[in-house]
Amino acid sequence: MKRKLSGLFFALLLVLSCTQENVTSKEDNRLTQDRFLAMSLREQFAAMTQWGGISRIDINNLELQRISTGVVRQFSGFSFNYSPVIDIFELAEQGTDTYSIGLRKGGPAGQVLDVSVTLKEGSGAWAEVNGLRYNVQLNSYTAGGGKDVVEYTFTPTGAVPGTSQDYLNLIAALNNSNNGDAVRPDLFLPDLRVLSLGSIKLTVVLDSTTGEPACPSVAPQGGLTHVEEGKYLYESAGGAQILINRISKESLVITLGYKGYSNFSYQFWGDSSEEIFDSNPDNLGPASHENLNGKHLKDRLGKNRTVIFPDGTKMTYESTAPWYMGGVTRISIYDGKNVHHFNMTCFGLEYSSASSMDTQEQDDLQADGETSTFELTETGLIFYNIYNEDTAGNKVYERIDLGSLTKDNEKQVNDLYDDKRLAHT
């Protein structure tokens, strides 16, 4: 999937997923029609993150222009059907009433859609998605055996501009989908722009009999094994080793090893119940501390953290805020056609493939953040940073040595980085 979409399809998907807060009491964890209809728009969106997902999108009066010829075409019945649902896997607050949201297609265990979307809540029946405002109308609520169906119409209040590249990204996203049955005319043209959009109808299925959504759970493939409860181990053909140990919701340890240098261990660790977390000890484990062979060298600088092994295997974890203030929400492993994504909120393996056809594309769409690698030398090993990538595609290269090991003295660990936030490094 491409990250910069014009906001015609996936942006509006996210409108239905603007918060993960619970909207029911612990005493009554069932969704009813009366309760849903009595909710505000925001509360309805929140309920969908717990009980439902989008099953169908209908586009009305999509008007396109071919830039090279100026020819305008109108498609009055464009539709795209997803099966079974679009689900949220991540939500982060960006400011007052503004959120960034992540999606996966195909339900809780489906493929992650890394599309960049921001949503701003309105006080009335409107929502602003990627800067474009839509009026939102709930058309119907049909109750049926615990699988209720809700239909909304989103109507843009102004023009829906879309550049040629925006539109190509959008069409590529639709054509690359393998979790739905798309009904679409022949739209794959090299130079289109969107002129107007009449409305978008979203159909949502609510499983009103369920409580908390099931944690993603797919079978590990391609070098990944489930060691025991809370532990996964990835081993690459080139010798990379990644052990993910979720001790508890609040405590996470990621240990990296390499068969080409047996006396090497790099750990990301941290417990949100540490004294420094007194504001909210129930956060997800931040794994913000970094140890080389047991020696604390530094702490994480930004939100995301990546290590690239000599064989090309890559591990990236995402957090909600820099340093110890943000818990780790997601861990990704990329190695050739092997791709694995972990949902750390509930610690579920949400995607695992040994034959992914878009590994590089998924990797490119994820910001690496502070990125390190290591090299083997005649005398030992050097671990160092190579670049920062705070936003996907914008790498700032700078080599910064963090630590080193020596073959002659296996117990010696050289701390090469002065983390001014920590007195002992």
- The span from the CA of 414 to the CA of 374, in Å, is 14
Token pair for 300: 């994480």
The whole-number pLDDT of residue 310 equals: 97
Closest CA to 29 of 215, 214, 205, 208: 208
- The span from the CA of 365 to the CA of 4, in Å, is 10
The whole-number pLDDT of residue 415 equals: 96
Give the H or E element holding residue 46. Answer: helix 41-51
- Residues 78-101 have a mean pLDDT of 67
Confidence category of residue 190, pLDDT binned at 50, 70, 90:
low
Give the H or E element holding residue 44. Answer: helix 41-51
Confidence category of residue 286, pLDDT binned at 50, 70, 90:
very high
- Residues 239-263 have a mean pLDDT of 96
CA angle 327, 211, 177 (to 5 degrees): 70
Tell me which range, 7-16, 29-38, 72-81, 410-419, is most confidently predicted by mean pLDDT: 410-419
pLDDT at 135 over 80: yes
pLDDT at 210 over 90: no
Q: For strands 369-376 and 305-308, give the pairing.
A: parallel
pLDDT at 198 over 80: yes
Tell me which range, 175-189, 298-312, 346-360, is most confidently predicted by mean pLDDT: 298-312
- Residues 174-195 have a mean pLDDT of 51
The whole-number pLDDT of residue 302 equals: 92
The whole-number pLDDT of residue 11 equals: 37
The whole-number pLDDT of residue 350 equals: 81
pLDDT at 197 over 60: yes
pLDDT at 184 over 60: no
Tell me if residue 346 falls in helix, strand or coil: coil
The whole-number pLDDT of residue 165 equals: 58
Confidence category of residue 183, pLDDT binned at 50, 70, 90:
very low
- Residues 16-25 have a mean pLDDT of 35
- The span from the CA of 301 to the CA of 389, in Å, is 12
The whole-number pLDDT of residue 192 equals: 65
Lowest mean pLDDT among 140-154, 170-184, 321-335: 170-184
Confidence category of residue 12, pLDDT binned at 50, 70, 90:
very low
Per-residue pLDDT tens over the stretch 290-348: 999 999 999 999 999 999 999 999 999 999 888 888 889 899 999 999 999 998 888 88
Pick the residue with more confidence: 14 or 135?
135
pLDDT at 166 over 60: no
- Residues 71-76 have a mean pLDDT of 78
Lowest mean pLDDT among 201-210, 263-272, 410-419: 201-210
pLDDT at 260 over 90: yes
Lowest mean pLDDT among 105-119, 191-205, 238-252, 342-356: 105-119
Pick the residue with more confidence: 385 or 64?
385
pLDDT at 176 over 70: no
- The span from the CA of 252 to the CA of 232, in Å, is 12
Identity of the residue numbered 372: S
Tell me which range, 24-33, 152-161, 221-230, is most confidently predicted by mean pLDDT: 221-230
